[in-house]
Structure 1
Amino acid sequence: MRMTHIERTDLNLLGPLAALLAERHVSHAAELAGMSQPAMSRALQRLRDTFGDELLVRTPGGYRLTPRAERIQRQLGAVMPRLETLFAPETFEPADAAEAFRIAGTDYASVFVPALCRRVFRDSPHSTLDFGRWHDGVFEDIERGLVDLLFYATRKPSPGLRSEHLFDDRFMCVMARDHPLAHRPRLTLDDYLDSTHVIVATVSGRQTAIDNLLDQLRRPRTVGLSVPYHSVAPLAVPGTLLIATLPHRIAAEHASNPALRTLPAPQEIPPLRYHMSWHPRLDNDPAQRWLRDTVRGILAEPSP
């Protein structure tokens, strides 16, 4: 959109113009605008050249506005408050805001997202929160502006996004209580790889936090069952020889199940590193900064 008249105009003259039309006196206008009297006189001359009009005309009773100046003053009364709002720093008042926050992640996020929902609805009751499912194109969704904040496990955050490490969570092996390895205090990597596994397929049909590491060791595991959710994996274990490898925060939810036994994963499998990521264009958005601060605050609180 081309705006020919604005491009030829020094917008710094708007303040002096408003002061001159309001005060109708160069010295008084200079004081109102915080300028020297000579600087205001120069501004008046530039404004006269810009508008092709005298704007202020000296009379025996003082300066009077020309008809053009009166019309400009009426228009400024509508324009200046809008410009002030346009250039004022943005603020976010959660209690009054009605934001539509869009987050995404695997169901592992259930370890803290319910608390996030409660906090958002408590502090920003008019806002909404959409928790989208994880899928292979979720990073493209961030690029397209369809997701504001993404929660995921990775050891190498996406270089095109802002990323923040939230916490680590060690892996546990969940198996049937009568599994041949259930009596062990901890599994060795050989025991682990000799077993058949249920995996949580997070990216391209793989449980990448574990399988990428095993690929580096050139020792892939045998997959007997693939499920889309962390919450499903432990339910598939009883009555089978399957082993589900889950973050401790998920495995702990099944600790009281008498049909299951939980053991630490082999020491070669490092903890899961959990991150939140967002597009750089959201760095300074007040609402998004508040949402990220809310996530940090929840995770900083002691676990119940």
Structure 2
Amino acid sequence: MHGMNGPLPSDLNLLLVLEALLAERHVSRAAMRLNRSQPAVSHALARLRDIFGDPLLVRGEGGLQPTARALQLAGPLAEALALVRSMVDPPTFDIGQCSRHFRLSLSDYGTAILLPPLVARLRKAAPLIDLSVVSYGRDRALAALIDGEIDLAVGVYPELAAAGRRDLMSDLLFRETFACLSDGAVQPGALSIERYLARPHVRVTVALEDDSEVDAALARLGHKRRIAIQIPHWSAAPDLVRGTDLVLTAAKRSLEALETGSLRCSEPPFRLAGFPFVQTWHRRREKDAPHRWLREEIALAARGSTGEREPRRS
């Protein structure tokens, strides 16, 4: 493997142990993942430390934390093991007998529209596949893909075109537009740009540093709205709007079903471009058959939510 200090490990299983430890950050969980004993994994870690001349994983808050050297190895390690697996895996596989654990980053919005149909399909067609879902901010999700911490990220990622993201591939699931949710009983009448700017707003974002397409569009027009409430969870937002003067500007598909009682869903009172909703993954996973199958299932779930499928891109 490129960049190793010292001789290559003579036992490929050592690299499998390192992969599991980097993923689980815990010796016991790595042992369970590998179906090996905890002492065996600890012994393998000691051998890996000798081979690489580095502690690789050190105790920290919440478990083991990778050293800089371990993070440097994560990408080449994943690529090497993916290549080996592609050599030994059969050309076809039985998804019904496939046992895998996938880690996905999904927003509340993505979870609500994609996860129910996806999980229903998995339970029937692939009952041995397990999913762990996290909700990372945009930068962290893309960094986690590059580091091999997660397998797929589904959401809005305008950063994909930036330099340094060339190893990330993507599939356009659908294009989404914005809408505004407000309580018509509190302040009746059309939501003009003047009224929009005069009212306080709810903003849903996982990470404080994530840019908002809404605020960027307003800034281009020389305007700025007041964010009175910022929360990371989509599910609470509609109840914050109900009975208040707050306005929620979010994906139209997520708001239309909430137009009940006095809640009103309306077009934004200013030009606001739509945005692509994508799934993205690292190039090293491109030829991984179960991973490819999962991507296709996510695309099918997205098609069910929109009624049509967008053309694929990468």
| Paired residues for 1:101-140 under 5 Å | 101-109=102-110, 110-135=112-137, 137-140=140-143
Distance 2:146 2:177 in 1: 31
**Amino acid in the other structure paired with 1:260:** L
State the identity %: 24
Q: CA deviation at 1:103?
A: 0.7
Q: CA deviation at 1:199?
A: 0.7
Q: Partner of 1:175: helix, strand, or coil?
A: strand
| Partner of residue 214, structure 1 | 218
Distance 1:108 1:87 in 2: 38
Q: 1:158 to 1:283 in 2, by over 3 A?
A: same
Q: CA deviation at 1:2?
A: 5.8
Given the two structures, how large is their TM-score scaled by the length of structure 2?
0.63
Q: CA deviation at 1:126?
A: 0.9
Distance 1:131 1:292 in 2: 15
For the 8 Å contact 1:172–1:262, the answer to whether it is kept is: yes
Q: 1:177 to 1:250 in 2, by over 3 A?
A: same
Task: Compare CA radii of gyration and give the structure with the larger one.
Answer: 1
Unaligned runs of 5+ residues in structure 1 are 4-82
For the 8 Å contact 2:135–2:206, the answer to whether it is kept is: no
Distance 1:86 1:163 in 2: 25
| Partner of residue 145, structure 1 | 148
| Partner of residue 42, structure 2 | none
Question: Does residue 233 of structure 2 align to residue 229 of structure 1?
Answer: yes
For the 8 Å contact 1:101–1:128, the answer to whether it is kept is: yes
| Paired residues for 1:1-304 under 5 Å | 1=7, 86=87, 90-109=91-110, 110-135=112-137, 137-159=140-162, 160=165, 161-180=168-187, 182-184=188-190, 187-204=191-208, 208-256=212-260, 258-301=261-304
Distance 1:285 1:102 in 2: 15
Q: Partner of 1:232: helix, strand, or coil?
A: helix
Given the two structures, how large is their TM-score scaled by the length of structure 1?
0.65
For the 8 Å contact 1:200–1:207, the answer to whether it is kept is: no
State the number of aligned residues: 221
**Amino acid in the other structure paired with 1:198:** V
Distance 1:173 1:2 in 2: 58
Distance 1:133 1:297 in 2: 21
Distance 2:297 2:89 in 1: 25
Q: 1:88 to 1:302 in 2, by over 3 A?
A: closer
Unaligned runs of 5+ residues in structure 2 are 1-6, 10-83, 308-314
Q: Partner of 2:160: helix, strand, or coil?
A: coil
For the 8 Å contact 1:251–1:262, the answer to whether it is kept is: yes
For the 8 Å contact 1:169–1:272, the answer to whether it is kept is: yes
Q: 1:112 to 1:218 in 2, by over 3 A?
A: same
Show CA shifts across 1:107-165 (max 9, x none).
Answer: 01111111111112211111101111223522221122111110112445354111222
Q: Cα RMSD between the aligned structures?
A: 2.7
For the 8 Å contact 1:174–1:245, the answer to whether it is kept is: yes
Q: CA deviation at 1:296?
A: 1.4
Distance 1:150 1:156 in 2: 13
Q: CA deviation at 1:179?
A: 3.1
**Amino acid in the other structure paired with 2:195:** D
For the 8 Å contact 2:207–2:232, the answer to whether it is kept is: no
Q: 1:87 to 1:260 in 2, by over 3 A?
A: closer
For the 8 Å contact 1:230–1:246, the answer to whether it is kept is: no
